[in-house]
Amino acid sequence: MLIRYKKNMEKIAMGLLSFMPEGKDVKKLQQTIKEYETNPDWQLFLWKEEDVTGAIGVKIENDINAVVQHISVNPSHRNMGIGKKMVEEINKMYSDKYAVCADEFTQNFFNKYNDSNKSQQRD
């Protein structure tokens, strides 16, 4: 399930975000985490079953869009559907109030499952 990020999860969250293509710069990564901690429009969630294995981050823009800007799964747990489940959960959480979309870094993956969600709902 998705749980909301808290300060005591900082290390694991940074580890997961570091798998993003732009996550190699440690200073930038620290700024990103700080923004999630302090900016109410930036909301970070972690995927937790027994362990924490994934992260997904959303930025609320102009009170209209919920933009998925980080998606990352621990390499040992990839290709098991965790990324897909996180996208689905974010859609459920935000789509009543916001237009859910993705930024340039996450759109490839996000669109893959956002589209398949829509076609599954139509079936």
Q: Which residues in this chain contact ligand COA in the complex, by CB under 6 A?
A: 19-21, 71-73, 78-84, 105-106, 108-109, 112
Give the shortest CB-108-to-ligand COA separation in angstroms: 3
Assign 108 to helix, strand or coil.
Answer: helix
- For ligand COA, the closer of residues 62 and 79 by Cβ is 79
Give the shortest CB-83-to-ligand COA separation in angstroms: 3
Assign 72 to helix, strand or coil.
Answer: strand
Give the shortest CB-36-to-ligand COA separation in angstroms: 16
CA separation for the pair 9, 21 (Å, rounded)? 21
- For ligand COA, the closer of residues 51 and 97 by Cβ is 51
Q: Which residue is nearest to ligand COA (CB)?
A: 83
- For ligand COA, the closer of residues 22 and 41 by Cβ is 22
Q: Using an 8 Å Cβ cutoff, are 36 and 42 in contact? A: yes
